[in-house]
Structure 1
Amino acid sequence: MLHPAVLDDGTPIVRATPGDAAELLTLQRACWVQEALANDSLDIPALHESYDDVRAWLGEWDTWVVRRAGRLVGAVRGRLEGPDGPKGMAWDIGRIMVAPDQQGSGLGRVLLDHIQAVAPARVTSYVLFTGAGSTRNQRMYKKAGFRLRPDLDAPPGAVVLTKRRA
């Protein structure tokens, strides 16, 4: 089921298309350079992806974008992760991206809310990870009801956060 959304200013959140790949790659690099600085590491997968990698994951993830004045300024993706124990499925949330000049406007939170809303009905929990040093991201996720899960495996330098679906 589609869940179209519109920001307070009337800007729609729409599904990404393969034609968005180049701009997604540019936005991704702009966002993850900041993450590299916050985490004192260039060992961040998003910084090492190519245009072809982005085109490939567009086919594997449910990806949504926001454009303002024709410019791609935000994006988020989600996909089924697999069994979440005997209780259901997990929805893997990733690549919440907001252009540096748009950060602090609430767009990241709107994208996070949107990707949860479009998760399939059988999803019982959400999972995401962010840099261990990304305190701003962690604060946003915690305000949205996510909790740190030190018991779950995270990539080096990252933390995992989860939330049960209401």
Structure 2
Amino acid sequence: MDIPEVPGARLLDATAADAAELLVLQRCCWVQEAILNSTLEIPALHETLDEVREWIGTWRVWVVRQGPRLVGAVRARLEGTAWEVGRLMVAPDLTGRGLGRFLLAHAETHAPATARTTELFTGAASKRNIAMYERAGYRLTDQAGPLDAHIRHAVYLVKPRG
């Protein structure tokens, strides 16, 4: 699928062959989150290549390529009645072009009918992320959700499906 926000970009299902590039993009994106949130206790910064390969096999994962370059990704899975969205990432030089919103919307459209909510988390100091999620209909909540590997200083956001 072509992505109008980023000329020449294509949305694809991730494969194990994408794992190394996903790991590099993930680290590029989450270093900025670590700085914003004053913590290195972010699971995405500590995952190994094998762990990325493992979640490619257990989550629905989509990548965006602009030419040969991997420039964005998102993953999602059903946990109980919650559609968990995570690892939403956009190459730092392409932020602000709508690619993150596109990936979020794409992940949401793939939620199974049994999902009652869509849930995600981000750093409490990640104001740009929080604003994007709120514009997409998510609301901050105090509840602890089923999402794994919460980071310290994270906030949890929920969007009812319906």
TM-score (norm 1): 0.90
Secondary structure at the aligned position of 2:106 is classed as helix
State the shift of 1:90 in Å: 0.8
Residue of structure 2 aligned with 1:156, choices 147, 152, 155? 152
Deviates more, 1:32-41 or 1:115-124: 115-124
2:8, 2:67 within 8 Å by CA — same for their partners in 1? no
Residue of structure 2 aligned with 1:40, choices 14, 20, 38? 38
Aligned partners of 1:80, 1:107: CA distance in 2, in Å?
Answer: 23
State the shift of 1:77 in Å: 0.2
Matched with 1:165 is 161
Aligned partners of 2:143, 2:112: CA distance in 1, in Å?
Answer: 26
State the shift of 1:155 in Å: 4.2
Residue of structure 2 aligned with 1:65, choices 59, 63, 70? 63
State the shift of 1:10 in Å: 5.8
Secondary structure at the aligned position of 1:96 is classed as strand
Matched with 2:50 is 52
Matched with 1:91 is 83
State the shift of 1:81 in Å: 1.1
Aligned partners of 2:8, 2:69: CA distance in 1, in Å?
Answer: 15
The percentage of counterpart residues that share the same residue type is: 55
State the shift of 1:68 in Å: 0.2
Residues 100-152 of structure 1: per-residue CA shift (max 9 Å, x gap): 01111110000000000111122121000000111110000000000001122
Matched with 2:136 is 144
Matched with 1:80 is 78
State the shift of 1:18 in Å: 0.3
- Paired AA for residue 84 in structure 2: D
Count residues in correspondence. 156
Off by >4 Å, runs of 4+ in structure 1: none
What root-mean-square deviation, in Å, do the aligned CA atoms of Structure 1 and Structure 2 show?
A: 1.2
Matched with 1:85 is none
Residue of structure 2 aligned with 1:132, choices 97, 109, 124? 124
The one of the two structures with greater contact order (alpha-carbon pairs below 8 A, sep at least 6) is 2
Aligned partners of 2:151, 2:16: CA distance in 1, in Å?
Answer: 27
Matched with 2:9 is 11
Stretches of structure 2 lacking an aligned partner (at least 5 in a row): none
TM-score (norm 2): 0.92
State the shift of 1:12 in Å: 2.6
